[in-house]
Each structure stands twice: as C-alpha cells, then as structure tokens.
C-alpha cells in the first residue's frame, strides 16, 4: 500500500528521477515520503511528513544536496501501518551504522521478536516501524557481503515484503519480494524498480516481473535469483501497451473524474476479447463443480453482482465471498472447483491468499484483472485483462464497470448467447457515452449542492441493483466521507428504516425489470417517514424528490446505474473540500493484510 521507486543508471540526477516517480505513485501512499541516494560514496537520506506532490524539487535540490551527481537512488511514499505519521517513521530507514538504506512495503509479522533480539545485541531503534528491523538485520550480517547479508536477513522474516536496498560500500541496487509487488523497468543502460508501472512509464515500457521469493541484483545488468534454491533465473521482457498520456490527468482536475469519463471507451475495450478464449473459459465455468467469485472491497461488490448475473442470464449458481473471508470456506473447494478472482491491480493481498488456498486444494483459477503481468495474472490458470488502462484514483470507477462487463459477457456465454451479451454491452457503452456530458454533470452537481451538508445517507436496490447499492455506498464513503449505507430494498422493514428521519437523503437504484414496482414501493416506505428520495431510473416517478435519468439497459442496468453515483460522489468530495484521488486512510492497492 506504499509507493516504492528506485533508479540505477547513467543519468546523474537519480534523486530527481526518484522523487518525480514517487509523485506518480502518490495514490499508493501519501502520509509521508523520503528518498535515499548515493553520492561521494555516502548514502544520504531525506524524508518529510506530508504529500510528496507538494514538494518543489527545483527550490530544494541545492539545499538538500540533490544537485550532486547521483546515479543510484531509492524512494518511498508511505501509507502508515506500523507507527504513527512522523519523520522518524517515514522511509527510507538506515542501519545503525548508516551504511545501509532500505525502503519496504508489507508487514513483517515477527518484527517484535527480531527487534528484541537485536536490542539485546546493542542495536538502537529510532522508529516504531517493522522496516527498521530489516535494516538492522542486514547490518548484523553484512560481514557476509551485502547480497548474502540480505539473503540471511530475509530468511528470518515472517510475513509479506517488497524491499529495496542500497549501501555505501557497493554500487548495487538490490530488491526482493514476498507477497508485495515489485516491477523492474529495463531502459538503455539503466534500470528502474517500482511497485507500479506509471512511476517509470516515461522512460521505458519494457518490464520484468519479480515473483515471490525472488531477488534482483542490479549493477550494469539485472540478475534474478530464486531465494529458495539460490539459483539464477532468466526473465522475459514484457512490453506494456500503456502510454504516458493515459497515466496523467491531462485537462482534468482529478484522476477520478478523468477515469469516470473514460468509461465511454473502457467498457467497449473490456468486451473486445478473443471469442475463442472467452468460450474456452465459458466451458471451464460450465464444467466446474462449484464456481466461486472472490474479490475485496469494490471488487467484492462486483463479484456479488456477478452471482446475480449468472443466476439471471445463465440460470447458474455461482458462489461469492470476500477474499479475506474465503479461507473460512475452503472446506467446500475441490480439484473440480473454479475460482474467479476479480481485482484491478492483481496484487490484492487477501485475494492472493484466497487463490493460494484454492490452488492447494487443486482448484483452477481465472483472474479478471486490469494489470497485465501482475501476480494474479502470473499464478492463474486463465486471465482476462479488462484493458481499462491505468487507474490511479483510489476509488475505482472505470475498472469496476469493465469488470462487470466481463462478468456479464461470461454469463451470456454460459447461456449460449455470447453475441447477445456483446450487443447489449455495446449498446450500454453507447448510452454511457451520451450520459457523460457537461449538462448531465451539472444536473448531478445541483444535487450535490443540496445534500453536501448531510452526514448520513442511504442507498437501496433490488435484484441486479442490490450489489450496486452496496457499491454506491462505498463510493460515497470513500471520497465524500459522508456516512452511507446500502441495503436491499426488502430489508428496510427489518431494521434499517429506523434510521430514516425528516430530510434524510436516500438514493433508489431502479432497473426496468420485474423488481421495479417492488423497489418503488420500498422507496415509498422511506418517503412516508420523511426521507428525501433520489431516484436513479429510466423513468420518473412522482415520489422522486430528485430524478437522475439513466437509459434503460436491461441486464446492463448495474453498470449504467452506478455511473451517476460515481459522479455524485466525486462532486460531493470536491464541494466538501476533500481530495477525491487520495481519500484519507485509504490506499489504491491493498497489498498488506
């Protein structure tokens, strides 16, 4: 959940390259940041509390020594897990003798035990972090040599990590991972290492992926080592088809609204898949004895929507569970089961653990992901790439609808109606193109002005739109910080209706299907108790206090209905002076448990 970036090469402004790269990763961590760089055979560290995006390199480079020749540097933007948000806890961390600097993403589960043993040996700690323990361990074993000392230290760690290490005695950049992502970018006479591709996209699109229990040692070339066998391994260079423009805001004030606007294109790209590959996966789903959709957060809501889509379209029972809860259900998994894992990043820790559990049981795994070459992509039996391009706002929007489009397509495929599903989704994409215009956004802005000062609101849905009621609540929570909850319309009378008071905003997601009359009746129950009814529906109803029109889209209704809520959440965030791209306490990729 932290941003990691490093540079080693022939450019002499390594510290500047790293700082600028960290700015592109700020969506991964943004409560503090720091950089370690080697110049004059000395490792120097600079770190601050706050957002790195607010740091002006040109004004500070001379004062901080960044103007000196530097061809080796590592940096980190932090999202705190161990210890408060302080300069002392910010990365990089140094060994006690100040010869080694390290940045780290992940959680070391046995760090207290290791720290206690190091204290007994005379080591002093300046931070509350688990990361500093790794730096001190490497110093403890550096008589073995830097590389062997790192290997020894890593062998003692329990938990997940992605680390970068530099020292004053070696002109090496060393990285290793277990459970947290690291990607090596290969340029001409230079290398980059990052937790996500946008950090180095302006320099190279050629990447090599570091897998679990692997190390890479970079001098003039990149040498990969399997830490379990201590043998060198060869890596294939993969060319990424993202471009720098797609990873930047351009004319938009925030990534979130840019990514919402891109949905006119991303849904069409998502369903532009090889029909033979889709039907191969459809056959796996139809032949599986027990299919499970798993995901976390928004992806978990997409999975729930998928279970409704398979039931409705293909008359097929598909189970669903959050990745974090899946291990508790493993007793049902066999070698005939199929796991469908959904993730934007392909690096979500709880979902990866769920996949590990399933594979130990012999189950096959299909991943629906955005990031090609991610850990989930590499460990799965099958993958479908949603092709949404970089998604940098913490709150997922375009990846969400692209994931739902893929699940809709698969459900139609299982029913033997693949072409029908594709035509439905293309029509929905066309309708979304018509929706995403300045007048529509102005209509939602007017609503945001009306409800921006409320501290609670509710969302109800039924059938296909029930999972989207849950997802709508997440979007409102994430960026506006308004307390929002989603409910199944029929569950109101079993408790939640007690929350309604005069003027309470309640969003009603309406599909033009057999659930329409019932959800309108549920909305009437809220209206009669003083609720302010916001209808998201193809048709206006007299009970709506505010109507948000959406096109009638059949089984694509969940995709269409969530988009105005995404826009509303964005506008509420801006009106409430929140940063919608970097909501408090959250990070884009949850790569720690």
Positions annotated as catalytic residues are 2, 588
Contact 551, 510 (CB under 8 A): no
Q: Which of 244, 551, 252, 563 is nearest to 395 (CA)?
A: 563
Q: Which two structure tokens, joined as six digits, stand for 21?
A: 């790269």
CA dist 144 and 569 (Å) reads: 54
Q: How many CB atoms lie within 10 A of CB 100?
A: 28
CA dist 198 and 205 (Å) reads: 10
CA dist 410 and 165 (Å) reads: 44
**What single-letter DSSP state applies at residue 92?**
P
CA dist 466 and 531 (Å) reads: 19
Q: Which two structure tokens, joined as six digits, stand for 65?
A: 């020594």
Instruction: Kindly give, in sequence order, each residue whose CB lies less than 8 Å from that of residue 283, ignoring residues fewer than 6 positions away.
Output: none
CA dist 177 and 216 (Å) reads: 9
Q: Which two structure tokens, joined as six digits, stand for 196?
A: 């996500």
Task: Look at the block and give the residue holding tokens 């009970």.
Answer: 543
Instruction: Kindly give, in sequence order, each residue whose CB lies less than 8 Å from that of residue 342, ignoring residues fewer than 6 positions away.
Output: 293, 294, 295, 299, 300, 302, 303, 306, 351, 367, 368, 369, 403, 407
Contact 186, 206 (CB under 8 A): yes
Q: In what order do the strands lie in the sheet with 456-461?
A: 483-488, 456-461, 505-509, 532-537, 546-549
Q: Which of 107, 101, 64 is nearest to 83 (CA)?
A: 107
- At CA 44, angle to CA 39 and CA 47, rounded to 5? 135
**Torsion, CA 89, CA 91, CA 94, CA 95, rounded to 10:** 70
Instruction: Kindly give, in sequence order, each residue whose CB lies less than 8 Å from that of residue 194, ignoring residues fewer than 6 positions away.
Output: 3, 4, 5, 6, 21, 25, 182, 183, 185, 200
Q: Which of 4, 24, 6 is nearest to 15 (CA)?
A: 6
| φ/ψ of residue 321, rounded to 5 | -155, 150
CA dist 346 and 368 (Å) reads: 8
Q: How many CB atoms lie within 10 A of CB 517?
A: 10
As a residue count, the chain comes to 593
Contact 431, 551 (CB under 8 A): yes
């Amino acid at each position: 959940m932290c941003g990691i970036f490093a540079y080693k090469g022939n450019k002499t402004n390594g510290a500047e390259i790293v700082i600028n790269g960290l700015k592109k990763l700020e969506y991964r961590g943004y409560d503090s940041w720091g950089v370690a760089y080697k110049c004059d055979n000395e490792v120097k560290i600079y770190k601050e509390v706050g957002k790195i995006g607010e740091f002006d390199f040109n004004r500070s480079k001379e004062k901080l020594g960044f103007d000196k020749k530097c061809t080796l540097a590592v940096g980190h933007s932090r999202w705190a897990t161990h210890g408060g948000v302080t300069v002392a806890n910010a990365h990089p961390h140094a060994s006690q003798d100040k010869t080694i600097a390290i940045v780290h993403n992940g959680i070391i589960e046995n760090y207290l035990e290791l720290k206690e043993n190091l204290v007994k040996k005379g080591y002093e700690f300046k931070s509350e972090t688990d990361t500093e323990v790794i730096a001190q361990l490497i110093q403890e074993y550096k008589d073995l040599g830097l590389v062997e000392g790192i290997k020894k230290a890593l062998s003692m760690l329990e938990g997940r990590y992605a680390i970068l290490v530099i020292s004053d005695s070696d002109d090496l950049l060393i990285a290793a991972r277990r459970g947290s992502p690291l990607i090596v970018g290969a340029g001409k006479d230079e290398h980059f290492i990052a937790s996500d591709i946008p950090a180095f996209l302006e320099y190279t699109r050629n990447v090599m992926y570091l897998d679990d229990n692997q190390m890479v040692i970079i001098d003039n070339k990149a040498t990969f080592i399997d830490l379990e066998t201590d043998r060198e391994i060869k890596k294939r260079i993969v060319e990424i088809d993202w471009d720098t423009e797609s990873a930047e805001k351009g004319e938009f004030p925030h990534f979130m609204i840019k990514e919402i606007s891109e949905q006119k294109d991303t849904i069409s790209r998502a369903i532009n898949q090889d029909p033979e590959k889709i039907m191969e996966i459809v056959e796996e789903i139809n032949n599986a004895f027990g299919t499970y959709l798993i995901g976390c957060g928004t992806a978990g809501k997409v999975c729930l929507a998928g279970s409704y889509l398979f039931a409705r379209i293909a008359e097929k029972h598909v189970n669903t569970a959050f990745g974090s809860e899946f291990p508790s259900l493993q007793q049902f998994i066999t070698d005939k089961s199929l796991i469908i894992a959904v993730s934007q990043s392909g690096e979500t820790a709880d979902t990866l653990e769920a996949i590990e559990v399933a594979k130990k049981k012999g189950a096959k795994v299909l991943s629906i992901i955005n990031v090609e070459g991610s850990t989930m992509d590499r460990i799965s039996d099958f993958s479908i790439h949603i092709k949404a391009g970089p998604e940098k706002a913490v709150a997922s929007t375009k990846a969400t609808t692209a994931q739902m489009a893929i699940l809709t397509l698969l459900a139609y495929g299982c029913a033997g109606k693949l072409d029908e599903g594709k035509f439905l989704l293309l029509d929905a994409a066309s309708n979304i193109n018509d929706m995403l215009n300045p007048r529509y956004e102005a209509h939602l802005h007017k609503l945001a002005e009306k409800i921006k000062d409320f501290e609670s609101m509710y969302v109800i849905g039924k059938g296909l739109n029930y999972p989207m009621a849950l997802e709508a609540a997440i979007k409102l929570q994430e960026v506006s910080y308004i307390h929002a909850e989603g409910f199944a319309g029929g569950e109101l009378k079993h408790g939640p209706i007690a929350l309604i008071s005069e003027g309470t905003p309640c969003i009603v997601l309406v599909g033009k299907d057999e659930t329409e009359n019932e959800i309108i009746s549920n909305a009437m129950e809220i209206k009669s108790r003083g609720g302010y009814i916001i209808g998201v529906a193809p048709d206006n109803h007299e009970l709506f206090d505010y109507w948000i029109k959406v096109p009638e889209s059949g089984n694509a209704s969940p995709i269409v209905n969530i988009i105005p809520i995404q826009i509303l959440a964005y506008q509420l965030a801006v009106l409430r002076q929140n940063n919608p791209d970097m909501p408090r306490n959250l990070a884009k990729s949850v790569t720690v448990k």
